[in-house]
């Protein structure tokens, strides 16, 4: 994978396709490959005329994995996304984030709206503001000696996912400590680019999408039918809604 440097860390990324850039920012304990390539998003975006850029966040995938919680605040991870755009010579891109990646995308859009054409927040509703209630249980689950010791359902879910992806569990625990920092309601109201908020119908981790969309100056909500937090990621209806939103806000082809 290609690499770039930011804030003293070496991070990995991939680019596929030709056309307007869509920076894809994955969720917690995932990677660019798991979140976007394996679920068909890269193929979908490239097939629609976009360049899909997948970033392995710090602590994840093929990127460097610090064990210090002070390295994982959303503003720092948002800085990584901006550094990748700089590295690629891109002045502006659409952002597609899922779960933790959606939180990162929201911070990018708030701090640097001039760099963001449009934003898709997948798997992140009102908990962008309210925070993640299961975070401490997830941290404990990642640091537990074995899966057999865990009874909390969300902690078990993330421990199984982390083991499946071969993740550095100590880096993930450090990441969970600080990356879940909520965004202030007043800051959400000041996000300028158009935003699609897409959450699974039975997603208990994200919070509802409509109240968040109502706070955003140019927000829209989409409920992904019959999907929970994990199974919504590659959903075909989610992809269709995202492409429709991009076509209206950041079209791949200029119509003469």
Which tens digits make up the pLDDT trace of 228-239? 999 999 999 999
Domain that holds residue 125: 3-130+184-249
173 in any annotated domain: no
pLDDT attached to residue 256: 31
| Assigned token pair, 118 | 């449009």
Q: State how far the Cα of 28 lies from the Cα of 255, in Å rounded to an integer.
A: 38
Residues 63-83 have a mean pLDDT of: 98
* pLDDT above 50 (res 75): yes
- Average of per-residue pLDDT values in the chain: 96
What digits encode the pLDDT tens for the residues 2-21?
Answer: 999 999 999 999 999 999 99
pLDDT attached to residue 86: 98
122 in any annotated domain: yes
Q: Is 187:110 a contact under the CB 8 Å cutoff?
A: yes
For the chain, what is the domain count?
A: 1
164 in any annotated domain: no
pLDDT attached to residue 133: 82
Residue-wise DSSP of 191-243:
--S-EEEEEETT-SSS--HHHHHHHSTTEEEEEETT--TTTTTT-HHHHHHHH
Q: Is 134:207 a contact under the CB 8 Å cutoff?
A: no
SS3 223: strand
Alpha-carbon torsion, ordered 9, 164, 166, 79, to 10 deg: 0
139 in any annotated domain: no
50 in any annotated domain: yes
What digits encode the pLDDT tens for the residues 21-53?
Answer: 999 999 999 999 999 999 999 999 999 999 999
| Assigned token pair, 31 | 């990677």
151 in any annotated domain: no
Q: State how far the Cα of 194 lies from the Cα of 213, in Å rounded to an integer.
A: 10
177 in any annotated domain: no
Model confidence, pTM: 0.96
118-127, 129-138, 187-196: range with lowest mean pLDDT? 129-138
CATH of the domain at 243: 3.40.50.1820
Confidence at 255, pLDDT banded by 50, 70, 90: very low
244 in any annotated domain: yes
Q: State how far the Cα of 193 lies from the Cα of 182, in Å rounded to an integer.
A: 19
* pLDDT above 50 (res 222): yes
* pLDDT above 70 (res 209): yes
Number of neighbouring beta carbons within 10 Å of residue 36: 30
């Amino acid at each position: 994978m290609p690499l770039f440097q930011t804030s003293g860390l070496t991070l990995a990324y991939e680019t596929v396709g030709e056309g307007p850039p869509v920076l894809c920012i994955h969720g917690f304990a995932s990677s660019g490959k798991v979140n976007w390539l394996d679920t068909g998003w890269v193929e979908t975006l490239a097939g629609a005329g976009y360049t899909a850029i997948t970033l392995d966040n710090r602590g994840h995938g093929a990127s460097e994995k610090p064990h210090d919680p002070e390295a994982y605040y959303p503003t720092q991870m948002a800085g990584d996304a901006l550094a990748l755009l700089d590295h690629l010579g891109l002045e502006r891109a659409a952002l597609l984030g899922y779960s933790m990646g959606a939180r990162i995308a929201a911070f990018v859009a708030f701090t640097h709206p001039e760099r963001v054409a449009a934003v898709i927040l997948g798997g992140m509703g009102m908990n962008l503001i309210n925070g993640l209630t299961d975070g401490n249980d997830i941290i404990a689950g990642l640091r537990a000696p074995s899966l057999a010791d865990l009874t909390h359902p969300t902690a078990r879910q993330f421990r199984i996912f982390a083991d499946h992806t071969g993740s550095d569990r100590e880096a993930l625990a450090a990441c969970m400590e600080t990356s879940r920092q909520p965004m202030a309601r007043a800051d959400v109201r000041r996000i300028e680019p158009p935003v699609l908020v897409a959450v699974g119908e039975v997603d208990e981790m994200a919070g509802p999408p409509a109240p968040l969309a109502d706070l955003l100056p140019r927000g829209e909500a989409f409920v992904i039918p019959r999907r929970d937090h994990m199974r919504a990621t590659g959903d075909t209806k989610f992809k269709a809604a995202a492409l429709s939103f991009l076509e209206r806000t950041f079209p791949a082809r200029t119509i003469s």
